[in-house]
Structure 1
Amino acid sequence: MSEHASTRRVSQDDVDDAPTEDEAPSTDHVADDAPTEQARDDAQSTETTGAAAVVDALEATGVETLFGIQGGAIMPVYDALTGSSLRHVTMAHEQGAAHAADAYGIVSGDPGVCMATSGPGATNLVTGIADANMDSDPVVALTGQVPTNFVGNDAFQETDTTGVTAPITKANYFAGDADAVGDTVGEAFALAETGRPGPTLVDLPKDVTQATTEDREPTAETPQHYDPQYEPDEDAVADAARTLEDAERPLVLAGGGVIKGEASEELREFVTEHDIPVVTSMPAVGAFPEDEDCSVGMIGMHGTGAGNMAVTHCDTLFAVGTRFDDRLTGGVETFAPEATVVHVDIDPAEISKNVYADVPVVGDAATAMEAITDEMTTSPDADEWCEQVTDWQDEYPMTYRAPTDGPVKPQFVVEAYDEATDDDAVVTTGVGQHQMWAVQYWTFKQPRTWVSSHGLGAMGYGLPAAIGAKMAVRDAGDDQQVVCFEGDGSFLMTVQELSVAVRENLDITVAVLNNEYIGMVRQWQDAFYDRNRVASEYSWCPDFATLAEAFGAKGITVDSPDEVADAVEASVEYDGPSVVDFHIDPAENVYPMVPSGGANGKFALSEDQL
């Protein structure tokens, strides 16, 4: 036999299944002073495994539900779930697990948790982790990894998970020590929800989770060096108050940080006391009730005409918890060109990053707003300005043409569901035209009821997000309704998660606004690419109602406007997951629209204005 033939290659399974040092047979004689059997039993009773320490850490933080998919490298952690208080929801795809955890965190305010095995399991989480990072959503991802002595050897299902996710996490960890793994998971959880929220990840090598360690109380503390500033500087608060008092055309811009910082009440008190118009970024929708007089709606690429006019002509912009992304600002040089900007944010890196802050205020949104409200002695004299904003609302109403004998209008579908559901209903969406119609034509009155992919713009987000949102509602003991708006192209990307909704008997309603296009791409192709509709036509999609029935959900198809009311009622009243395939007007577009990089005050109301 050749030397090559006699050499036995060590596999990962060999290492996993090999007896540990404690398990290996011993030929040593037992010494006279060896521990008694009772002493050995006592010693063993203080031992646990790294996997059990992970589960104990999650339980200690108050986690109730996690989302994931089983696999080889993460198997010890799944095994340790047996007998725990944690509820695991098996998803159909790891991307769905990450999106469900993300939505769970948005609705509950607590970090959502997702799990996956090494290699493709971990990489399939990446889209959801990147989405959470862009939107500052609290998520903890736990990934299996090959044993430590195989790391770097291109082992089966090995990926440098910490390397891949370093740019898209708030922090990530390679857990190389069974004694510390519980505290590492606790720290990841604490860091995800502290200060500016965001995703964290712990990579768990299989030998570490299988190893024995001392059974002790896990901790959940942020690193000593992480010390976000919650209390704003007194001088900055005074400067902000004086600036707002002197304003003639003040405008409040609420960003997503208002909701994440639990500052919606402080926002409402400030706006009501001083009678100042308020606009929101898309992640902040619901931070201020949209049915109140001071609400001017969302601003940005598809914001209201009145909101975009207000931000263009205000002389003082009180921006709270926003990062001023390009979809909000359009061209930065034309954004709020006449305004003195007062910018409140808990993350100092966001101050003057995109829009220069004349008055920077670093601190927690709720704390800072309360401090500025207390510091102000008078309200700005802005009666004429408020009248002007009201005139813009009258001049640029959010209306649409809906002939009774014409095709189904997507705006009408959104309004019908809004009317048929409670004020606290949660709305999730995918990404595309349907997302914009949902945010434009639903009247949001409460925070944490709008759940979507904003910064990353991940198609397929809506259905797994609806699952995560409904699980968060369940865990809170509430009965909030969950309505998911999807487009045909977006829905097709994660439709497999419908099997999870059926299995878990989740009472969610999915409204597919089906125009047989990737609609937003088609709209841009028509406007900017001479109507060259390359790869945007989706006439080949399946019959979604029939597909829903195949999964075990209720399926309904709507072809005409007079069928909308009955379909909405039937889907909302159905006790379980339902899918309504609305065949909408394929020519309908989303307006107002600010061309990419354009000036917010020069929005288009039709294609010929672009």
Structure 2
Amino acid sequence: MSERASVPKEAEETESEPEQEPVTTGAQSVIRALENAGTDYVFGVQGGAIMPVYDALYDSDINHVTMAHEQGASHAADAYGVVTGDPGVCFATSGPGATNLVTGIADANMDSDPVIALTGQVPTEFVGNDAFQETDTVGITQPITKESYFAADSDTVGDDVSEAFALADAGRQGPTLVDLPKDVTQGETEVEPGRPETPETYEVPEEADDEDVQEAVEALAEADRPVILSGGGVIKANASSALREFAKEYEIPVITTMPGIGSFPEDHELSLEWAGMHGTGYANMAISNTDCMLAIGTRFDDRLTGGVDSFAPDAEVIHVDIDPAEISKNVYADYPLIGDARNVLRQLFDAMPRAPDADEWRDQCQTWKDEYPMDYDTPDDEPLKPQYVVEQFSEMTPDDTIVCTGVGQHQMWASQFWEYTEPRTWVSSHGLGTMGYGVPAAIGAKLAAPDQEVVCFDGDGSFLMTVQGLSVAVREQLDITYVVLNNEAVGMVRQWQDGFYEGRRMASEYPWIPQFDKLAEAFGARGFTLESYDNVEETIQEARDYDGPSVIDAHIDPGENVFPMVPSGGDNGLFALNEDQLDMI
């Protein structure tokens, strides 16, 4: 699978294009801007203030997917951007339409996912008068976007959209928004919008300073216990191939962050998989004992670091990031390298004087793998274990299968027990931790990569938040397999209550939940129930074989918890492998 599934921008610009009808309205200029940017899909919900834009979309070749809720539109656009590498686009009307997008926009902002949101707005003469379905969309979204624009003129609205599209994609990717007053989109114009271009004042650092690179590689070559920490920025920069080449050439063990899953193949002997609160014991041990860490495209968030003071205490840190604001924000960088991850990895590769002398260190990392394996028990007298369901799916599906999730225990099991070997195959909500992300994200992922299998693991709590998205998957005839790891609880909350609140389970368990297989059938999907080990493989295969969306309601052990676990703010090297050890930390 290619790192970026879409057509390269250079190719887009050189292809001959059919002659277009001239624009006559601001709304047509908005759609033309999206066409110029190569937009294939828009995810949205109609409404009064955005209606002129939808009317202009009527004559466009852009595909529109009508979502069941605006939050679903923003998550689908987000996932589309994660899988393709190019900005996903979502539409919503003013007021509640725009505010319903906010959760998805905030999610994309936290995870640096490329999204452009276009929102309807009341006519400019009514702005500030508390008109019907008016809200200050720009004011609400300014803190959670790279930029939010208020379109003020029919002649410039197309260029506003073009610039917003370019900005979402440039440098450190992220969401942008353009608020579209109805009189601006209905207004007349003959001005054709330009192609996407960032503002003249926006600069992206491409390569790190050569002297800084030389100092960094000398430190890395001298290390006895080196590790590479590969973050989500490696995938966003299409730097996975460069990372793999560097790590293999210089035989340095690789740890990923959770957003970095897939940047390095987990079946390779140098892989320690992912680190952090529920990362592998061996990854966390390596972090706690390394003497030199090459960290690429990571913001060192608290779920990775635990307590910052105890994070990699003996390590010199080489931090590669395209955003200078991330350097030494959470973890001090001894060697800051500001630039595009792929370019900087090439610089490091060319400058490395030699491989570190790290035979003993690699042996130690293998010893930790043997001491802290990712295993689990499957007693015959206990309910179905979720880890087994995930593992069986992983074994039965192609390597390029895309895995989407909601947020909770199921998300951790899906990241721990699926073997990831390719970038852009792990699609989840990380920084914001948005329950309900999975159902609409799978829709965006499948439309982004129609030839790849898409599996969505969800929890019963997370699934219920956006289950209406099943209607979209059915209507669009999308071949997606949804797996509800059903423990009749908001499982991660319940686990924390048991571990840190003396078992006081307040508002974390469901006294009643729907039968998800029957609910799926009501939506027009295919429903399955899974309750024992006897028919796991058969049910998985039957669900995969169904040509359309299917839902497996997997009734799992309600007492199963996620381990390993580093308590919040704790030392990565002091992780619990079970409940008894958690009590001792």
Q: TM-score range by the shorter chain?
A: over 0.9
Q: Which has the larger radius of gyration?
A: 1
**1:312 aligns to 2:288 (yes or no):** yes
Given that residues 56 and 218 in structure 1 are in contact (C-alpha distance below 8 angstroms), is that contact kept between their aligned partners in structure 2? Answer: no
Q: CA deviation at 1:216?
A: 2.0
**Helix, strand or coil at the partner of 1:102:** helix
Structure-2 separation of matches of 1:382 and 1:393: 17
Amino acid at match of 2:38: G
- 1:352 aligns with 328
**1:426 aligns to 2:402 (yes or no):** yes
Structure-2 separation of matches of 1:604 and 1:154: 53
**Helix, strand or coil at the partner of 1:513:** strand
Mean Cα deviation higher: 404-413 or 379-388: 404-413
**Quick one: which of 154, 161, 164 aligns to 1:185?**
161
TM-score by length of 1: 0.91
Q: CA deviation at 1:47?
A: 5.5
- 1:491 aligns with 463
Structure-2 separation of matches of 1:52 and 1:503: 27
**1:416 aligns to 2:416 (yes or no):** no
**1:565 aligns to 2:541 (yes or no):** no
Percent identity between the aligned chains?
66
Q: CA deviation at 1:215?
A: 3.8
Given that residues 23 and 29 in structure 2 are in contact (C-alpha distance below 8 angstroms), is that contact kept between their aligned partners in structure 1? Answer: no
**1:114 aligns to 2:90 (yes or no):** yes
**How many residue pairs align between the two structures?**
562
Structure-1 separation of matches of 2:367 and 2:195: 56
Given that residues 571 and 580 in structure 1 are in contact (C-alpha distance below 8 angstroms), is that contact kept between their aligned partners in structure 2? Answer: yes
**Helix, strand or coil at the partner of 2:325:** helix
**1:159 aligns to 2:113 (yes or no):** no
**Quick one: which of 443, 449, 464 aligns to 1:467?**
443
Structure-1 separation of matches of 2:193 and 2:50: 22
Structure-1 separation of matches of 2:182 and 2:329: 41
Mean Cα deviation higher: 353-362 or 553-562: 553-562
**Quick one: which of 505, 514, 522 aligns to 2:477?**
505
Given that residues 182 and 219 in structure 1 are in contact (C-alpha distance below 8 angstroms), is that contact kept between their aligned partners in structure 2? Answer: no
Structure-2 separation of matches of 1:426 and 1:488: 21
Given that residues 299 and 330 in structure 2 are in contact (C-alpha distance below 8 angstroms), is that contact kept between their aligned partners in structure 1? Answer: yes
- What is the CA deviation profile of residues 251-289 of structure 1, one whole-angstrom value per residue up to 9, with x for unaligned ones? 000000000000001100010001110000000000000
Structure-1 separation of matches of 2:407 and 2:524: 25
**Quick one: which of 518, 521, 524 aligns to 1:549?**
521
Structure-1 separation of matches of 2:495 and 2:168: 37
Q: CA deviation at 1:218?
A: 2.4
**1:514 aligns to 2:486 (yes or no):** yes
Given that residues 23 and 189 in structure 2 are in contact (C-alpha distance below 8 angstroms), is that contact kept between their aligned partners in structure 1? Answer: yes
Structure-1 separation of matches of 2:214 and 2:31: 47
**Helix, strand or coil at the partner of 1:157:** coil
- 1:343 aligns with 319
Alignment of 1:264-279 (within 5 A): 264-279=240-255
Structure-1 separation of matches of 2:193 and 2:183: 21
- What is the CA deviation profile of residues 432-482 of structure 1, one whole-angstrom value per residue up to 9, with x for unaligned ones? 0000000000000000000000000000000100000001013xxxx1000
Alignment of 1:155-554 (within 5 A): 155-474=131-450, 479-554=451-526
Structure-2 separation of matches of 1:217 and 1:210: 16
Q: CA deviation at 1:420?
A: 1.3
**Helix, strand or coil at the partner of 2:446:** helix
Q: CA deviation at 1:217?
A: 4.5
- 1:11 aligns with none
- What is the CA deviation profile of residues 99-141 of structure 1, one whole-angstrom value per residue up to 9, with x for unaligned ones? 0000000001110000000000000000000000000000000
Q: CA deviation at 1:563?
A: 2.0
- 1:596 aligns with 568
Given that residues 319 and 341 in structure 1 are in contact (C-alpha distance below 8 angstroms), is that contact kept between their aligned partners in structure 2? Answer: yes
Structure-1 separation of matches of 2:442 and 2:173: 21
Q: CA deviation at 1:542?
A: 0.4
Structure-1 separation of matches of 2:274 and 2:58: 46
Q: CA deviation at 1:608?
A: 1.8
**Helix, strand or coil at the partner of 1:282:** coil
Amino acid at match of 1:514: N
Given that residues 510 and 579 in structure 1 are in contact (C-alpha distance below 8 angstroms), is that contact kept between their aligned partners in structure 2? Answer: yes
Structure-2 separation of matches of 1:54 and 1:386: 55
Alignment of 1:30-49 (within 5 A): 48-49=24-25
- What is the CA deviation profile of residues 181-207 of structure 1, one whole-angstrom value per residue up to 9, with x for unaligned ones? 111100000000100000000000000
- What is the CA deviation profile of residues 289-308 of structure 1, one whole-angstrom value per residue up to 9, with x for unaligned ones? 00000000100000000000
Given that residues 406 and 561 in structure 1 are in contact (C-alpha distance below 8 angstroms), is that contact kept between their aligned partners in structure 2? Answer: no
Given that residues 136 and 199 in structure 1 are in contact (C-alpha distance below 8 angstroms), is that contact kept between their aligned partners in structure 2? Answer: yes
- 1:102 aligns with 78
**Helix, strand or coil at the partner of 1:269:** helix
**1:61 aligns to 2:37 (yes or no):** yes
Given that residues 428 and 483 in structure 1 are in contact (C-alpha distance below 8 angstroms), is that contact kept between their aligned partners in structure 2? Answer: yes
Amino acid at match of 1:601: G
Question: What is the root-mean-square deviation in Å for CA atoms of aligned residues?
Answer: 0.8
**1:82 aligns to 2:54 (yes or no):** no
- 1:7 aligns with none
Structure-1 separation of matches of 2:243 and 2:89: 30
TM-score by length of 2: 0.95
Runs of 5+ unmatched residues, structure 1: 1-44
Q: CA deviation at 1:313?
A: 0.2
Structure-2 separation of matches of 1:53 and 1:158: 23
